[in-house]
Amino acid sequence: MRTPFIAGNWKMHKTRAEARDLAAALKEQLSGVSHRLLVAPTFTSIETVATVLEGSNILVGAQNMAAARSGAHTGEISPDMLKDVGAQVVILGHSERRHVYGETDELINTKVQLALEEGLEVILCIGETLDEREAGQVDQVNRRQLTGGLAGVDAGAMGRITIAYEPVWAIGTGKTATPEDADTTHAAVRSIMADLYDQSVADAVVIQYGGSVKLDNVAGLMAKPNIDGALVGGASLKADTFVPIAQFDS
């Protein structure tokens, strides 16, 4: 039985004071939630948020990570640095990293393997652009990104990887795939995972949906058999919008 996993990606928002206040509100209001929860603040706020959330039911994540442990990598953050400030999970392969900053499947794979070696959990993001969707390439894109991103990752490590399917055309646009369309794609992703590993891995892997997740669509998405969670962007920036999403089954 897969445990639902709701995560909030704060992107480049919140000063440390603002992040502290939001984390404190979430800690109080989500204390009764039994499924998995995560927030991913900016690098500068991770330690602040981790201190507030220590001992709570909310995991702390990072939004990215360097592909190296140390060295001459100006502006980068290593896995040890993330762990040092309290991060337990790292989001890798987000569409903004792929399409704005040019990260390749090969680079993302290096990060995935390094994160796992260093004891971090991973949320691996995949998803197609609007042009790719209209060209009927959804499954091909997801297969390529999964095959590339998970290269060299053995089945035993998959318990520490969550897949986040995020159609690029739905991120920050207010558009979202219908629950039926999203579930169809999630089922296809699960089939790809069976091809890459086996059916037991495919059945066990948690697959989140991301892309303009809001209170008015989260219940419909989460009711689908292949959708196990949500990676929430804008709606995670306020307690009054994120809390009811995180409590979707209450």
Residues designated catalytic = 94, 166
SS (H, E, C) the chain: CCCCEEEEECCCCCCHHHHHHHHHHHHHHCCCCCCEEEEECCHHHHHHHHHHHCCCCEEEEECCCCCCCCCCCCCCCCHHHHHHCCCCEEEECCHHHHHCCCCCHHHHHHHHHHHHHCCCEEEEEECCCHHHHHCCCHHHHHHHHHHHHCCCCCHHHHHHEEEEECCHHHCCCCCCCCHHHHHHHHHHHHHHHHHHCCHHHHHHCCEEEECCCCHHHHHHHHCCCCCCEEEECHHHCCHHHHHHHHCCCC
